[in-house]
Amino acid sequence: MNASQIKIFYPELNISGDTNVEVSGIEIDSRKVKAGNIFVAIKGENFDSHTKIDEALNNGAIGVVTERDVSIPGGNLKILTDDSRWVYALLSSLFFDFPSNKFKLVGITGTSGKTTTGFLLYRFFNAIGIKAGFIGTIGIGHADLFNRSETFPLTTPDAFPLNRVLSEMAREDIKYVFIEVSSHAIKLKRIAGLKFYKKILTTIGEDHLDLHNTFEDYLNTKISFFRNGESAILNADSLYIERFKNIAKKHTLYGIERPADVRGVIISEELENVNFVIKYKGNEDIINLHMSGTFNVYNFLATSTFIFEEGYEIGYIEQFAKNIPVVPGRANLLQRGGKKVFVDFAHNPLEIENVLKYLRRFTDGKLITVLGAVGFSTEKKKTEMGKAASIYSDFVIVTTDDPRGDDPVEIAKGILKGVKGNGKIVLDRRNAIKEGISMLNKGDTIAILGRGDEVEAHYKDKTVYFKDLDAAKEELSEI
């Protein structure tokens, strides 16, 4: 990319210095800057990289994006802005020649259900011969090739790596890309500059208050995702749905409880199956969904609504339900000798409540829960997680999740404060799972929550490989 293109595509930017230079990349980490990069200085919560501008220039940066009117030596390119994150996203999109313009990009946001909804849509279109991509917590899908090891530390990647992946998908002639859009991604402008075809809302509950401080800020951030006029698919039963409807003027509703364009009427539920009637434009069919929980009916309805809007008839939905793919780390069930082990990503109070309420209905004996919280969660979130777990569980084992440099002991204590009833701390997650499974008798269930399919836990001084499902399989085979 030649820097002169920046002026052409973004004439509103305050640009000075030499623009007749080739740009080799856009970088926000001064330590990783290479010759020809533009360095973007960002003032974050804990660190201000404006202090690293000299280091970036010494490493070969040919330009700087800055929120301060600093002097840049040698006539190098300077972009002065009041929002470096926004410019970073715009430049990233330009660098890769606006990849989101080359397919139908679908953003899925909500407190829970993003991964399952996006993954189901990704699998559906590939199953019928239409190339689709997926970017989410559990991995990246390029058409039929799904790489669970190709993940980012963030639900929605930073702007430059995100546009790089989108560019790869554009070259592969992919027609749809389904991407999880977190509240962090919206607030921190990671998705600025992307062109969305449609946007989907799953559920709304409290989460990520470490970033947003208040629920109102979190809610407003989610609502802001729907401001740009794209067609939206909204959960009619979601909290604050009227506020979303007021912003997303062109919308289709799905739901169970309230009137909706696509509606599910539940007939019967088992632990791993839900039978329900799906209704759409005067048509209806009985769906036998091989997934657990009402929460997954909502995910399936969101998926179905998008499929309907793309012109596919109800028979496609029925057939897809019969061959529903397993979503890694979501509602994964193991059974042996009448003992059940349920592994799920549920990591906030709303998700924990939904999962445990459902498991309680299908557990004749004890329900044991193993859970932790990620580092730097708010005290309120940790307490509410413990409270939600203890309402439906007979015993709660609080353990470590992903400390991210935070103190595992203090995290666990915060959760245990909310546990009303029988509970204890077992910091080592493998030992916590082992102890929980050893407590099982016939008819009992253990829920192992919080990590799903994640494979790494990050401590201050080390990164540990650990996968809940692998540990659960090994421990269950021992009893």
Residues 326-344: tens digit of each pLDDT: 888 888 999 999 999 999 9
Confidence of residue 207 (pLDDT cuts 50, 70, 90): low
> What is the mean predicted confidence (pLDDT) over 249-261?
96
Do 141 and 263 reside in the same domain of the chain?
A: yes
For tokens 């293109």, the residue is 5
Q: What is the pLDDT of residue 87?
A: 98
Q: What is the pLDDT of residue 435?
A: 97
| Cα–Cα distance list, 451 to 374, 382, 474 (Å) | 9, 15, 17
Buried b (16+ CB within 10 A) or exposed e, 13-34: bebebebebebbbbbbebeebe
Do 147 and 288 reside in the same domain of the chain?
A: yes
Q: What is the pLDDT of residue 479?
A: 74
Mean of per-residue pLDDT scores for the chain: 93
> How many other CB atoms are there within 10 angstroms of residue 469's CB atom?
17
Do 242 and 375 reside in the same domain of the chain?
A: no
Do 266 and 307 reside in the same domain of the chain?
A: yes
Q: What is the pLDDT of residue 397?
A: 98
For the segment 44-97, what is each residue's pLDDT rounded down to a tens digit? 878 899 999 999 999 999 999 999 999 888 789 999 999 999 999 999 999 999
Residue 349 domain boundaries: 332-477
Q: What is the pLDDT of residue 151?
A: 56
Q: What is the pLDDT of residue 46?
A: 80
- Inside any domain, residue 362: yes
Nearest to 42 by CA among 257, 157, 188, 205: 188
- Residue 200's DSSP bridge partners are 108, 233
Structure token digits, residue 241: 């749905």
CATH of the domain at 39: 3.40.1390.10
- Inside any domain, residue 327: no
Do 179 and 233 reside in the same domain of the chain?
A: yes
The helix or strand, by DSSP H or E, that contains position 166, with its residue range, turns out to be helix 159-171
CATH of the domain at 387: 3.90.190.20
Confidence of residue 211 (pLDDT cuts 50, 70, 90): low
Do 337 and 301 reside in the same domain of the chain?
A: no
Do 45 and 133 reside in the same domain of the chain?
A: no
Q: What is the pLDDT of residue 449?
A: 97
Confidence of residue 143 (pLDDT cuts 50, 70, 90): confident
Structure token digits, residue 18: 């030499």
Alpha carbons 35 and 124: distance in angstroms, whole number: 43
Share of the chain above pLDDT 90, in %: 80
Structure token digits, residue 452: 């799903």
Do 243 and 103 reside in the same domain of the chain?
A: yes
The helix or strand, by DSSP H or E, that contains position 5, with its residue range, turns out to be helix 4-9
The helix or strand, by DSSP H or E, that contains position 318, with its residue range, turns out to be helix 314-322
- Inside any domain, residue 275: yes
Select from 277, 295, 322 the last residue of a domain. 322
Do 61 and 20 reside in the same domain of the chain?
A: yes
Q: What is the pLDDT of residue 212?
A: 58
Alpha carbons 377 and 381: distance in angstroms, whole number: 6
Q: Is the pLDDT score of 455 beyond 70? A: yes
Domain count, the chain: 3
Alpha carbons 124 and 216: distance in angstroms, whole number: 35
Alpha carbons 40 and 67: distance in angstroms, whole number: 9
The DSSP letter of residue 417 is T
Which residue type does 14 have?
Answer: N
Name the phi and psi angles at 67, rounded to 5. -95, 5
Degrees to nearest 5, angle at CA 302 with 102 and 237:
135
Select from 295, 322, 349 the last residue of a domain. 322
Alpha carbons 431 and 212: distance in angstroms, whole number: 34
State the pTM of this model: 0.90
Give the residue, 390 or 214, on which the prediction is more confident: 390
Give the residue, 102 or 330, on which the prediction is more confident: 102
Select from 69, 90, 111 the last residue of a domain. 90
- Inside any domain, residue 162: yes
Alpha carbons 257 and 127: distance in angstroms, whole number: 31
Instruction: Tell me whether strands 139-142 and 132-136 are parallel, antiparallel or unpaired.
Output: antiparallel
> How many other CB atoms are there within 10 angstroms of residue 392's CB atom?
20
Nearest to 444 by CA among 416, 476, 403: 476
- Inside any domain, residue 157: yes
CATH of the domain at 235: 3.40.1190.10
Do 76 and 106 reside in the same domain of the chain?
A: no
Do 274 and 336 reside in the same domain of the chain?
A: no
Q: Yes or no: say if 193 and 89 are a contact pair by the CB < 8 Å rule.
A: yes
Q: How far is CA 94 from the centre of its chain?
A: 25
Q: Is the pLDDT score of 148 beyond 80? A: no
Q: What is the pLDDT of residue 357?
A: 95
DSSP-based three-state secondary structure for 375 = coil
Confidence of residue 384 (pLDDT cuts 50, 70, 90): very high
- Region for 237 from its dihedrals, namely left if φ exceeds 0, alpha if ψ lies in -120 to 50, beta otherwise: alpha
- Inside any domain, residue 380: yes
Do 385 and 314 reside in the same domain of the chain?
A: no
